[in-house]
């Protein structure tokens, strides 16, 4: 009975998008550590709730393939998250809210159903991974700095690019998993370059993350946590297959940002 309960809680944790929300918060906290920003409870709450609500909307409402797996607990959790997002939004700066609104509109446009006049961004050839990577990088880099009213410079955009490359590379295992379900007209990375070609592209992206870490690090030893995280991401990338286990991408690959954050925190304490 205990095993059954743990299994149900684990399924809810993953399927309710709580896990992906914590992954996003991990990257957000990496930005805080890099720029030594003060803790922003309202921003973290806002991004957590917005991520849960947005991902559940995309996964269970806008996607007919997974709509049947939607259930009442996830609906209630999504509604509570929407309420939390609204309450925490009142404590953010107007610039932060404006950019968050633009990103939210991009997400809504992303899931518009395909029709003869205009389909969602996900249906435009080659764009799916780029849209997700740009949104994640903007959330974890731009929003916290806007909320602190910090003027943008070259370093900020280098970090944005690093986070975009990281996100793009860790999306590829999901793209490989979904290659047989995604419409060929979407021309996702595996559709265009094949599974092996996609892995090569992801590898180049991870090398880009390491190179940018070198550019961003004042002390070269501070690169070590990033090297470890990229090494683990590389292993996960090359072990990805179309017929992968249920939670390989949605749990293990999605946990990589948390591992990266853990490595950075431990390294700072050594």
Q: How confident is the model over 110-144, as pLDDT tens digits? A: 666 554 444 556 666 567 788 889 999 999 999 99
Q: Is the pTM of this model over 0.85?
A: yes
pLDDT in tens, 173-215: 999 998 888 777 677 889 889 999 999 999 999 999 999 999 9
Nearest C-alpha neighbor of 99 from the set 43, 24, 33, 34: 43
Q: Which residue has the tokens 């390294």?
A: 267
* Cα–Cα distance, 28 to 45 (Å, whole number): 12
Burial 140-171 (b: 16+ CB within 10 A, else e): bbbbbbbbeeeeeeeebeebbbbbbbbbbbbb
Name the token pair of 127. Answer: 């764009």
């Amino acid at each position: 009975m205990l095993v059954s309960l743990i299994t149900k809680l684990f399924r809810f944790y993953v399927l309710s998008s709580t896990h992906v929300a914590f992954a996003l918060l991990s990257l957000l906290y990496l930005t805080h550590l890099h720029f030594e920003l003060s803790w922003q409870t309202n921003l973290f709450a806002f991004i957590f709730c917005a991520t849960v609500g947005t991902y559940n909307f995309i996964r269970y409402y806008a996607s007919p393939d997974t709509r049947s797996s939607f259930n009442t607990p996830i609906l209630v959790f999504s509604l509570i998250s929407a309420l939390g997002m609204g309450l925490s939004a009142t404590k953010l700066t107007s610039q932060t809210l404006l950019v968050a609104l633009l990103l939210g509109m991009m997400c809504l446009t992303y899931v518009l159903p395909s029709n003869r006049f205009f389909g969602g961004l996900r249906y435009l050839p080659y764009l799916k991974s780029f849209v997700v990577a740009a949104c994640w990088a903007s959330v974890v880099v731009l929003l916290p700095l806007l909320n602190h009213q910090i003027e943008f410079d070259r370093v900020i955009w280098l970090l944005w690019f690093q986070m975009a490359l990281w996100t793009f590379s860790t999306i590829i295992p999901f793209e490989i998993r979904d290659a047989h379900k995604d419409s060929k007209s979407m021309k996702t990375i595996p559709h265009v370059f094949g599974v092996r070609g996609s892995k090569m592209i992801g590898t180049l992206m991870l090398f880009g993350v390491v190179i940018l870490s070198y550019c961003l690090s004042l002390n070269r030893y501070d690169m070590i946590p990033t090297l470890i995280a990229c090494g683990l991401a590389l292993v996960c990338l090359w072990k990805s297959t179309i017929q992968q286990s249920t939670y390989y991408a949605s749990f293990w690959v999605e946990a990589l940002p948390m591992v990266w954050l853990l490595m950075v925190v431990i390294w700072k304490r050594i």
